Chain A
Amino acid sequence: MSESVHIEVTINGRDRAFEVAANHTLLDVLRDQLGLTGTKECCVVGECGACTVVVDGIPMNSCLMLAVEIDGRDVTSVEGLAKDGHLNALQQAFLDVSAPQCGFCIPGQLMSAHALLQRNPNPTVDDVHEALGGNLCRCAGYLQITEAVLVAAKAGQQ
């Protein structure tokens, strides 16, 4: 009962139509089928957040979504943050504050932060900790990651 499903989706601002296997997760499809390897695979049980993407403005763990579920929806992954090669304020803040250490959790952190700032442009420290609470960092760069989000928030308000 092999099943291939046709989906139409906007990914990082680009309208696309293609077939996906029903039993492939969104993470599988992003990384293996579309070559968008920015989104990372780690725990695959929705605990670490390394696979976080934003779907219709809402951050989700792509490891726990079937790819077919994004049919008709708008998906943003880390590759969609920069515009024409220019880092957005959040990415720049992460760099300026030296938030990424090994960098592996960073795409997920960025997507959670991106979704947070879209919804709440002026978050408190606690808001940031809560919004990024599902993004594990073993380098434990949490303080600098939090600072980066707040710096970006401030930059966005000017």
Chain B
Amino acid sequence: MKEFSYERPESLDEALQVLATSGSDIEILAGGTDLVIAMRDRYSQPKVVVDIKRIAELSPSLVWDDNAVTLSATATMSEVVGDEGINTHFPALVEAAVVVGSVQIRNRATVLGNICNGSPAADTAPPLLAYDAVIVVAGPDGIRRIPIDDFIVGPGRTDLHEGEIAIAVEVAVPPRMVGSAYERMTRRRGTDLASVTLCATVDDAGVTQVAYGSVGPRAWLKVDETGVLADPSASVEAKAAVFEEIFADASPSVRSLRASPDYRRAMLRVLGARAVERAIERLQELQGVS
């Protein structure tokens, strides 16, 4: 690993000042599970590494209020998995967070880091998209709130500008009743990177959202307002037709080591159906229907 200057600001102001004076050669250190690898491989060679774990404003890392949870930039996957409120209201996010690597990784990897790193295979991206999460960004010109669908741009790229730092992700409990589920495809049952990531939500108005990733430059959020997917009695053919449209943007890489494009496309459909089915089950549980 090349040498760098290590900064550990204790306030957001301090952090922003460091960013302002360090130009573009900086990296943010939260959990480090992506960054340390990148630095060791010399893929990333920052002049300054800013450790954000002591920034006062980022603590506590997980706060509930008024039907929304705010995960600060230091909230780890383990913290998400262990939070009762998130388990209740955002079970798909828990299902995603719990498979991001092993226990050791989850104890360090942060949700916001997962999003900011910008891997198209980021497990937390589909659920956060489906839950309409908002990314909170602090910069020299103040705070911006960016819907996650706008925040995610492409592989390794987000809407963060130079001098800015993502400080939180806000997830509001949906106003309607929603059932949700997360699915992924891996090469083995043990810890693995996903070759398909997918989250489905179904609400009591019959609207279905499917967010999926690892099959193109970024994760996408698609919505089915026809009510077909949400309808347990709809025919397989009718559902398949809707899924075709939903997955039309999928462009899995031919060069991938992990899975072939054909397999990924096929698994999108398999996992899409399974996720929707489980989402409907969860919705029915909420509605007191079995």
Chain A residues with a Cβ under 8 A of chain B: 1-3, 5, 21-25, 44-47, 49, 52, 58-61, 63-66, 68-69, 112, 115, 130-131, 133-135
Contact = CB atoms under 8 A, between A and B. Distances in A.
Contacts of A52: 104
Contact of A68 (B51, B101, B103, B190): B51
B104 A68 contact: no
A155 B14 CA distance: 50
Interface in B1-40: 1-6, 8, 29, 32-33, 36-37, 39-40
B6 A130 contact: no
Contacts of B53: 69
Contact of B36 (A2, A65, A115): A65
B191 interface: yes
A157 B37 CA distance: 40
Contacts, number: 89
A46 B6 CA distance: 22
Contact of B103 (A44, A45, A65, A134): A134
B191 A3 contact: no
Given A1-B4, A65-B32, A69-B32, A22 B105 contact: no
Q: Nearest 6 CB-CB pairs, A to B? A: A134-B102, A22-B6, A23-B1, A64-B36, A61-B104, A134-B104
Interface residues of B, number: 28
B94 to A, nearest CB: 14
Nearest to B192: A47
Contacts of B107: 58-60
A22 B33 contact: no
Interface of B: 1-6, 8, 29, 32-33, 36-37, 39-40, 47, 49, 51, 53, 78, 101-105, 107-108, 190-191
Given A3-B3, A23-B3, A64-B37, 16 more contacts: A1-B4, A3-B6, A22-B4, A22-B49, A23-B1, A46-B102, A46-B104, A46-B105, A61-B108, A64-B33, A65-B36, A66-B36, A69-B32, A112-B104, A133-B191, A135-B102
A64 B2 CA distance: 15
A9 to B, nearest CB: 14
A5 B6 contact: yes
A59 B51 contact: no
Nearest to A134: B102
Given A1-B5, A1-B47, A2-B3, A61 B105 contact: yes
A59 B101 CA distance: 13
B185 to A, nearest CB: 18
B1 to A, nearest CB: 4
Given A1-B5, A133-B190, A59 B32 contact: no
B240 to A, nearest CB: 35
Nearest to A20: B6
A59 B104 contact: yes
